[in-house]
Chains A and B, each alone.
Chain A
Amino acid sequence: MQTWDQRQPIYQQLADLLAAQLLDGDPPEGEAMPSVRALAGRFLLNPLTVNRALQALGDEGLLENRRGLGLFVVPGAREKLKATERERFLHDEWPRLRDRLRRLDIGADQLTWEGQQ
């Protein structure tokens, strides 16, 4: 079963998880999101929690409500998400990673871009 940690509210964790899937193109831009009930069933969550997560993604401009049809992935959502993630990496993750590399005396020339994608 899906496990949820205690650091954040569950709806936020679901929103993050769905955002990560959107970044991978699931579902693709312009396509419909799965229904609240389908998501609730898949992740074994209360539908109210799913609603809150979808609401959060809507507030970030990633999903749009098409009257009578449900929620759709906004065209350009992946680019938007990528920009947010890039910002987060450069702002939060990179400084920590850089400090760690320095502590370990790892230089740029020792880092390889080869390997599995």
Chain B
Amino acid sequence: MNAAMTGQNLVEARNLSVSYGAKRAVDDVSFTIPKGRVVGLLGHNGAGKTTLMKAMVGLAAADGELVMLGLNPVRQRTELLEQACYIPDVAVLPRWARVDELITLMSGLHPRFSADRARQLLRRTSVGLRDKVKTLSKGMLAQAHLALIAAIDAKLMILDEPTLGLDVLSRKAFYEMLIDEWCDGERSVLISTHQVEEIESLLSDVLMLNEGKLVLSISLEDMDRRFVAFSHDTAVAEQMAAAHPLLRYRTGPGPSGNAAIFDGEPPPQVQALGQRMRPSLVDLFVALTRKPELDRTHF
């Protein structure tokens, strides 16, 4: 299959599974990633995020169908990695190297890497070209890494927990560079994280994994249309619960600090009991990924 046959989709996965021995880390997932999207891959630790990303760059053998940029990620891995870049969660840059040496190294390694572009991206940051990797802070390191990867003229970027362990300013700078320098309406990026609140507003789409299964694959625009939340008073809590919401939760102290999320519009008499809200991704995440045994203790 070539790129023309897959149309606008950069990624097409159908009935994809990845097993480690008897354990299915990724369990029969199907999704597509079109051009120009910012896709969040959300899931708790162990949900299968890293495994799925590894399969996408040919580092884990998968069953089912997976077409990346029109290519087979295992058999055509070299060609794929010319057009798709990946920062794994365990990524490290060599501590002894200077930043300008890394640029030279990348120039030799990657046919689509632009040294000029890397230097231009690094000017946004406080990282100097003569700085040694070992002298950089965690936040600077993440930015340097992103600058090196974003200097590759690729179609898809895959980032596994890119901001884990960074402070708030470093995370902001990281995402700022990503949005500003990478997202041009053509390229797409897949970001895994469990810091859901923070990246909600950045995303165009969300893939939600729970114990290897894809529990939600939706654009944020459709999410706003499909799911509705209502804040309500404790006095009507029972009526709200009787309408079978996905989740009921507290939004604040006092009798008015209750909310319920519904998949689809609840009946008008139920809607009249509360005030309509935009359902946040983090609430939906909790609703769709909580473990059944937590059900009883939740309220």
* B280 interfacial by beta-carbon distance below 8 Å: yes
- What is the 8 Å Cβ interface bit string for chain B, positions 80-108, against chain A (1 contact, 0 not)? 00000000000000000000000000000
Q: How far is the CB of B142 from chain A (nearest CB, A)?
A: 15
A37-B179, A37-B180 as given contacts; A44 in contact with B202, CB under 8 Å: yes
Given contact pairs A10-B278, A37-B184, A41-B177, a sample of 8 additional A-B residue pairs in the complex whose CB atoms are under 8 Å apart: A1-B168, A1-B198, A4-B201, A6-B280, A8-B278, A40-B179, A46-B179, A49-B201
**On chain A, which size bracket covers the interface?**
20 to 34
* B270 interfacial by beta-carbon distance below 8 Å: no
Question: Which positions in A face B, CB cutoff 8 Å?
Answer: 1-2, 4, 6-10, 37-38, 40-49
Which of chain B's residues have a CB closer than 8 A to the CB of A47? 179, 183, 185
Task: Check A44–B204 contact: CB distance below 8 A.
Answer: no
Q: Which of B38, B168, B176, B201 contacts A10 (CB 8 A)?
A: B201
Q: How far is the CB of A48 from chain B (nearest CB, A)?
A: 5
Q: How far is the CB of A8 from chain B (nearest CB, A)?
A: 7
Q: Could you tell me which residues of chain B, from 187 to 213, have a CB within 8 Å of some CB in chain A?
A: 198, 201-204
28 residue pairs bridging A and B, Cβ less than 8 Å apart:
A1-B168, A1-B172, A4-B201, A6-B229, A6-B278, A6-B279, A8-B278, A9-B224, A37-B180, A37-B184, A38-B180, A40-B180, A40-B183, A41-B176, A41-B177, A41-B179, A42-B176, A43-B201, A44-B172, A44-B175, A44-B176, A44-B201, A44-B202, A46-B38, A46-B203, A47-B179, A47-B185, A48-B221
> For the complex, what is the distance from the CA of A10 to the CA of B201, rounded to whole Å?
8
3 closest residue pairs by CB, A with B: A41-B180, A6-B277, A41-B176
* B129 interfacial by beta-carbon distance below 8 Å: no
> For the complex, what is the distance from the CA of A38 to the CA of B204, rounded to whole Å?
17
Which of chain B's residues have a CB closer than 8 A to the CB of A44? 172, 175-176, 179, 201-202
Question: Which positions in B face A, CB cutoff 8 Å?
Answer: 38, 168, 172, 175-177, 179-180, 183-185, 198, 201-204, 220-221, 224, 229, 251, 277-280
Q: How far is the CB of A71 from chain B (nearest CB, A)?
A: 16
Which of chain B's residues have a CB closer than 8 A to the CB of A9? 224, 278
Residue of A nearest to B184 (CB): A37
> For the complex, what is the distance from the CA of A2 to the CA of B197, rounded to whole Å?
12
Residue of B nearest to A52 (CB): B221
Task: Check A45–B201 contact: CB distance below 8 A.
Answer: yes
Q: How far is the CB of B289 from chain A (nearest CB, A)?
A: 19
Which of chain B's residues have a CB closer than 8 A to the CB of A49? 201
> For the complex, what is the distance from the CA of A78 to the CA of B277, rounded to whole Å?
30
> For the complex, what is the distance from the CA of A46 to the CA of B251, rounded to whole Å?
25
Which of chain A's residues have a CB closer than 8 A to the CB of B201? 2, 4, 10, 43-46, 49
> For the complex, what is the distance from the CA of A40 to the CA of B277, rounded to whole Å?
24
Which of chain B's residues have a CB closer than 8 A to the CB of A43? 201
Residue of B nearest to A35 (CB): B180
Task: Check A7–B277 contact: CB distance below 8 A.
Answer: yes
Which of chain B's residues have a CB closer than 8 A to the CB of A46? 38, 179, 201-204, 220
Which of chain A's residues have a CB closer than 8 A to the CB of B177? 41
Which of chain A's residues have a CB closer than 8 A to the CB of B38? 46
Which of chain A's residues have a CB closer than 8 A to the CB of B204? 46, 48
Which of chain A's residues have a CB closer than 8 A to the CB of B168? 1
Residue of B nearest to A49 (CB): B201
